Amino acid sequence: MSPAPLTGQRILLTGVTGQVAGPLSRKLVAAGNTVFGTARFADADSRAKVEADGVIPVAIDLETADFDNIPDDIDYVINMAVAKSNDFDRDLAANAEGVAFLIEKVAGVKAFFHCSSCAVYEPNGHVAHVETDPLGDNHRKMGFMPTYSISKIAAETAVKYASRRFGVPSVIARLDVPYGPNHGWPQMMVTLAQMGIPTPISPDAPNTHCFLHDDDIFSSIPYLLEQAAVPTPIYNWCAPELVSIEEWTAELTALTGVEIPLVITDACVPPNPIDPSKLLGLGWTPSVSWRDGFRKNAETSFPDLFKG
């Protein structure tokens, strides 16, 4: 049975200036919700852009737990914010401590949705991860974003603690590779290739991952919000199609004509196949296949190169 549509609600959406939360905010507004989009809003342009999307900007700071501007009577919180400063003290403060303080601040909401990451899993070769698999530092060999996996794991623990401490129903969704018509890893690969910069891949081929399109991010959220509870349940958040970098690189080249160089190295994200069976068991099904999504991405992001 499908959950009730997410409409007519007052929703606090954190990280609204990000590449995933931005498209989500527009879809939530279009569905008839009042969306309060949070960020630091250090410059007027970012605030103006959010307002142009029909979102009400709210300045907060997760690192310092400055939440004075959050309005009352929020129905749902969707936490998409993530700090990636590469400073452990700052990123743990924002991603873990900050989210616990935020849950305390909004106690009384119907549900708190926390976006985590499939980068929390200890690499396990080509075995698709389920939610009970061991956690680990998936990014430790990359050479950049050293705080990402660790602070995401810490954030999950903070959500589970604060949910129990303040009686706030919550749900954790471990997002794998998000993308849409104007953003995502595929677009970045083409852009970097045009600059002569290769994409690093693991020698442990095939380098498989799972995607989730903007449309499916939006359509799956009501299913996940319906599961919010104390204690907090956890779901892998992606479509079930396993796609390798080697496979999607060839597809991108066919769509744009851009040859994407790949360099084999251990200093990269390892293969990270994900099993979303638990999410699919809620009755949700994705609507965008990866090939259709990539075609639209190429057409929208690289119109002068698109092969049709």
* Nearest CA-CA partner of 173 in 71, 58, 20: 20
Q: Over the Cα atoms of the chain, what is R_g?
A: 19
Q: Which residues of the chain have pLDDT under 70?
A: 1
> Could you tell me the residue ranges of all domains in the chain?
82-180+210-243+275-284
Closest CA to 37 of 19, 45, 25, 52: 25
145: left (phi over 0), alpha (psi -120 to 50) or beta: left
CA distance 159 to 96: 8
pLDDT at 144: 73
For 263, counting Cβ atoms within 10 Å of its Cβ (0-12 exposed, 13-18 middle, 19+ buried), the class is exposed
Say what the pLDDT of residue 141 is: 72
Residue 77 has φ and ψ, to the nearest 5°, of -115, 130
Element (H, E) at 158: helix 148-166
Q: What are the pLDDT digits (tens) for 229-244? A: 999 999 999 999 999 9
Residues 35-46 pLDDT 10s: 999 999 988 899
Which backbone phi and psi does 135 adopt, to 5 degrees? -95, 155
pLDDT at 209: 97
What local confidence, expressed as pLDDT, does residue 308 receive?
74
pLDDT at 145: 86
Q: Distance (Å, rounded) from C-alpha 250 to C-alpha 252?
A: 5
pLDDT of residue 257: 96
* pTM more than 0.75: yes
CATH class of 82-180+210-243+275-284: alpha beta
**Computed from CA positions of residues 158, 19, 134, 149, in that sequence, does the dihedral angle turn out positive or negative?**
negative
64: tokens are 């310092």
Tens of pLDDT, residue by residue over 87-115, are 999 999 999 999 999 999 999 999 999 99
Q: Of all helices (H) and strands (E), which one includes residue 37?
A: strand 34-39
